[in-house]
Amino acid sequence: MASSDAAPAASTRAPGAPTHREILTIIGGLMIGMFLAALDQTVVATSIRTIGDDLHGLSLQAWVTTAYLLTSTISTPLYGKLSDIYGRKPFYLGAIGLFVIGSLLSGTADSMYQLALWRGVQGLGAGGLMSLAITILGDLVAPRERARYQAYFLAVWGTSSVLGPVVGGFFAGADQILGITGWRWVFLINVPLGLLGVAVIARVLHLPPLARVRHRIDWPGALALVVGLVPLLVVAEQGRTWGWGSGRALASYAVGLLGVVAFLIIERRAGDDAILPLHMFSDRTFAIGAGANFVIGVGMFGGLATLPLYLQIVRGLTPTEAGLALVPFTLGIMAASVFSGQMISRTGRYKVFPAIGTVLMAAASLAFARLALSTPWWEVYTVSIVFGLGLGLVMQPLVLAVQNAVSVRYMGVATSSSLFFRQMGGTLGTAVFLSILFSTVGDKIATAVRAALGTPSFQAALTDPAVLADPANQVVLSAFNGGVVPSLDDSSFLSAIDPRLAEPFLVGFAQSVDLVMLVGGLVMLGGIALTWLMPELPLRSVSGIQGRLDEAEQATRTTTTDRTEPDR
């Protein structure tokens, strides 16, 4: 266990390594890149309907999201491995460059197919922005001090989750800005920010060159990873539309499974040259960290995918208002990340924070399982804060534990793997939870309608001449008379019909959200078990740069000793 009075990282700073002030400047540039990647995950969601209408392809909107998800997820482990071999700076600059190019092209798209293609280019860059930023921080700062700086990154992530819907709603609602269609600024705004990030990083980030070691790039493993993940990610995004047992879904399962098996075989043969060296899973911290990140991704992203739907559909908030309603959640993330970072720096202890964080996330998910049409706002905000506190205690210590457990040679692989498994868990969780939501909401609404039929208020609405004469109510009235029940894939009719007629729909939807949150809370119980099982190792007192220099010096000494030792 690291002693509480261990010397800070600055005392072991390598010759030529950046000072504290230089580190803060570098972090500023890294935060720009992270902000772009994190913001783009939410800013498009509130503007996609406007984009789809303008490009005459609203039915294709899912592919715009899927293309970004595919390329960002697959490229994440590639950035980690390649940066371990050739260095961080060129790949981080390349990631920002790809993101800026993809953003510029997305802002000029003339069709949804073009937009999906250019969003894929964006995703190729986004895959490196998050993972390489955290990896570069690991190169610059020792683990004990690192947690304090990582709090800045989590603050960026939390802020972007709130700003995304607000910014997206603003641009989508503007007809033109500077003579350009409003929604196109959702992508074009990334260009000046990205160029600023490139300028800062190019000027201030100077890492020592890596020791020259012969490496073989694992192209077969990369290909197998693509073959394995693309079908599985596609079916995760499109399965609810296709049908989970449809021919296309079954074909995706089969191809994805073959790809995953091939990937494991190839990686085993590749050894240290593998994109994801399998021997790293023999380390208990790395293996448990991968599992914990996956489970937390399922519970975190899966649960958060339904909360905005509750706010917008059940409580009637606009996308912008829903984004602002998540401010307590963001405050919880920021407060917990700053607190845990400071405490880890002072004490050298980190295991307690993800252990407590997963408990808070599970408790918040179970509390959200009680959401109703009339839940007081103070209760929603309080539980949001608890969920945010849990998330803030979990995210950075888990990455820190994995980084600290592996050799500094694998810093990039370890960091990108943590984010990769979290992203995969989030993708699966979102797909499963939304499938649960929309597969149960019909029965929940039907039950709520039967209960409402016995109430005087609902009976009065069915006989009210004003209600019967309003064309907006006809879609619901016809359903009550044996017609087709309106689909919640387009919930806009709920804001137009009489509130008394809308209430059973809102009650039923809230009950389905409750079921999703309940499942999310149960999943998080697995996260609690994994974080408690994770070993706690003493935090290294040297940065990644110093660690690499020490390893290179040790290797040189060993080689010199072997050469000078006399023959026996």
- Dihedral angle sign, alpha carbons of residues 51, 197, 422, 304: negative
Backbone angles phi, psi at 439, to 5 degrees: -85, -20
Q: What is the pLDDT of residue 484?
A: 61
CB 165 within 8 A of CB 307: no
- Tell me which range, 38-42, 158-162, 527-531, is most confidently predicted by mean pLDDT: 527-531
Q: What pTM does this model have?
A: 0.83
pLDDT at 559 over 70: no
Measured from the Cβ of residue 457, the count of other Cβ atoms closer than 10 Å reads: 10
Instruction: Look at residues 543, 89, 43, 115 and name the one whose alpha carbon lies nearest to residue 319.
Output: 43
3-class secondary structure, 181:
strand
pLDDT at 77 over 80: yes
Q: How far is CA 281 from CA 284, 319, 360, 468, 512, in A?
A: 7, 42, 28, 65, 38
Provide the pLDDT confidence category of residue 381 given band limits of 50, 70 and 90: very high
Q: What is the pLDDT of residue 160?
A: 78
Q: Which amino acid is at 433?
A: F
Q: What is the mean pLDDT of residues 510-531?
A: 92
Q: What is the DSSP string of 347-405?
A: H---THHHHHHHHHHHHHHHHHTT--TT--HHHHHHHHHHHHHHHHHHHHHHHHHHHHH
The topology (CATH level 3) of 17-206 is Growth Hormone; Chain: A; (1.20.1250)
CATH no. for 283-447+491-544: 1.20.1250.20
Nearest-angstrom CA–CA distance, 384 and 402: 28
Q: What percent of the chain has pLDDT over 70?
A: 86
Q: What is the pLDDT of residue 558?
A: 62
